[in-house]
Chains A and B, each alone.
Chain A
Amino acid sequence: MTVQTMTGPSGTSRSSPSAPTRARPRWRDRDKQTLAAWLFLLPSLIGFALFTAGPVLAAGVISLLDWNLFSPPSFAGVRNFVRLADDSTFWSALGNTAYFTFASVPLTMLVSLALALLLNQGLRQVAVFRSLLLLPYATITVAVAFVWIWLYIPQDGLVNSALSVVGIQGPAWLISDAWAMPALIAMSVWKGFGFGMVVFLAGLQAIPQQLYEAATIDGTGPWQRFRHVTLPMLSPSVFFVVVTSVIASFQVFDQALIMTEGGPGSSTTTLVMYIYRTAFQNYDQGYAAAESLVLFGFIVVITAVQFRLQRKLVHYDN
């Protein structure tokens, strides 16, 4: 049995009240929707405008100022943005962050998807594994970051010990210029896969069984079913996870700060770490705000690209 698309009776007509005798204007369906929409939006919108959008706007205004937090600010115009062009630390931080994002997001997605598929078998025993696998995501960063520092110790950390068992001499990881970022990426994939895993699990649950049954009846194999049923039906979730993961990865901060403080040199200095230092250590608020706006710009462009691709790749049942 395939999904029946129900169509409403064609040409729904409403009897319009006789216009001249009523003082009230007619509510068109569009207006009703608008009113309904604003009422639904209101609770979120008020809090959002005050506590989320307001501060973001304030940051935008600050980017036009020269302000050290404690003395009165002075107007700087676009000077902060012009400074950015020559700031090699900013661009190297951007490079580091892009490297981090484009490596960790695909890896994390793959792990999340694979695990979600594995755990979606509907078996009762699997329930406990689902909870356990959320532990990396749920444990506070400061605790796991320190355990990973130990894992990465060059001489006798677990990672290099395990590698030496198969005959590979592991690099110096967190104290090596070239390997500090890969070390951070690996740790971040481990810490972050739980998010996608739970979202994909919810998405997989929402796929009607009928679609799989129909496909099986048509004689398709498991891989075909995955490609033609699972992936398209899961695509809104995939889209959501990709967009939010990219946005979050561009803002990576905690684990980099704890594990390497941006070193060795500045090989793991990420954009948000640089912004935080500019704001709270260099006390250059305007410059920090300008940096965040440029970061924002990059993320907007990348997200816009993803939204464009969404039209082609994401399947919504409309």
Chain B
Amino acid sequence: MTTEVKRRLIVFACFLVTAVTLIPIVMMVLVAFQSDAESMAARPSFWPSSWHPENLTRAFDLVPLGRYLLNTVIFAAGTTLLETVTAALAAYAFARLEFRGRGWLFGIYLATLMVPTQVTLIPQFVLVAKLHGIDTWPGMILPHAFTALGVFLLRQFFLGIPRDYEEAARLDGANRWQTFTRVILPLAVPAVATLAVFKFISQWNNLLWPLVISNSDATRTVAVGLQVFQDSNGTQWNLLLMAATITTLPLIVIFFLTQRWFVRGITMSGLGGR
């Protein structure tokens, strides 16, 4: 099989898989353009019988989506940044540095992943209340910026980096910090980028915490805003799904534009790579 045919086949396979996988997403977008009556009908129809692009502006009218989007960016970016930085540092310690109690401490980190957030919600809220953090940015961001997931992911990745690189740097006279910043981190870019993407997406869609912490539009996020379309009298599907579409697109665009950080390979001299 020639590389050209192989290439075409792969692209075709990708296309097919994507098309099938995205059927529910396509439906979501289609319903977003339906009229109120059609989208709330008991028997759903997928192809809109009439297109209503004004749903786009209507979604923005009913709720300050622009402000909520900004707030969501602040919240998601804040938690992502904090977690990525602190997790990278901590993961290096767990992966490469010997100290007493390392195993135990890592075990404690892991253990916190196994307790559901619904159970820690009350202690976290009371803590933030005591620190006067209700309805403030630090109160919203800090409790979610120190989870064990980042430390776990990066530790695994760091463990997989061949020690040779560090040995080489050591021989060149680098200290630990320089080894970390100039050798490990550049190699770890795909893993750090992966962590950043997951953290960003999960906090972008986090509903419960922003709901209970923010009391005003100044800090409300998009996930809370989507609730507006679900009032006690029923759900306005078309507007809800339109708002969901509008607010998911930025995530995908960001991911698309930052692709190269995921696909960077190892380019250290001596090992080549692609």
Contact = CB atoms under 8 A, between A and B. Distances in A.
A–B contact, 8 Å CB criterion (strictly below) = yes
25 contacts: A8-B167, A37-B98, A40-B90, A52-B147, A54-B123, A54-B127, A59-B115, A69-B122, A115-B17, A127-B256, A131-B255, A132-B18, A133-B17, A138-B201, A142-B226, A144-B28, A190-B21, A195-B198, A205-B190, A236-B159, A237-B156, A243-B152, A275-B119, A292-B116, A317-B162
Given A8-B167, A303-B114, A118 B13 contact: yes
Nearest to B230: A142
Given A47-B142, A140-B244, A292 B115 contact: yes
B234 interface: no
Interface string A78-116: 000000000000000000000000000000000000010
A316 interface: yes
B22 interface: yes
A317 B163 contact: yes
Interface of A: 3-6, 8, 30, 33-34, 36-38, 40-41, 43-45, 47-48, 50-56, 58-59, 62, 69, 115, 118-119, 121-123, 125-144, 146-148, 150-151, 153, 156, 158, 190, 195, 198-199, 201-203, 205-206, 208-210, 236-237, 239-240, 243-244, 247, 250-251, 253, 272, 275-276, 279-280, 285, 288-289, 292, 295-296, 299-300, 303, 316-318
Interface residues of B, number: 112
B97 A37 contact: yes
A156 B43 contact: yes
B240 A143 contact: yes
A227 B51 CA distance: 51
Contacts of B269: none
Q: How would you classify the secondary structure of chain A's contact residues: helix, strand, loop or mixed?
A: helix
Nearest to B201: A138
Contact of B116 (A4, A47, A115, A295): A295
Interface string B233-263: 0010100110011011001110110010011
A304 B252 CA distance: 35
Given A8-B170, A51-B145, A236-B159, 13 more contacts: A43-B89, A44-B86, A47-B86, A54-B127, A118-B10, A125-B14, A133-B17, A144-B24, A202-B193, A205-B263, A279-B119, A289-B119, A317-B162
A128 B162 contact: no
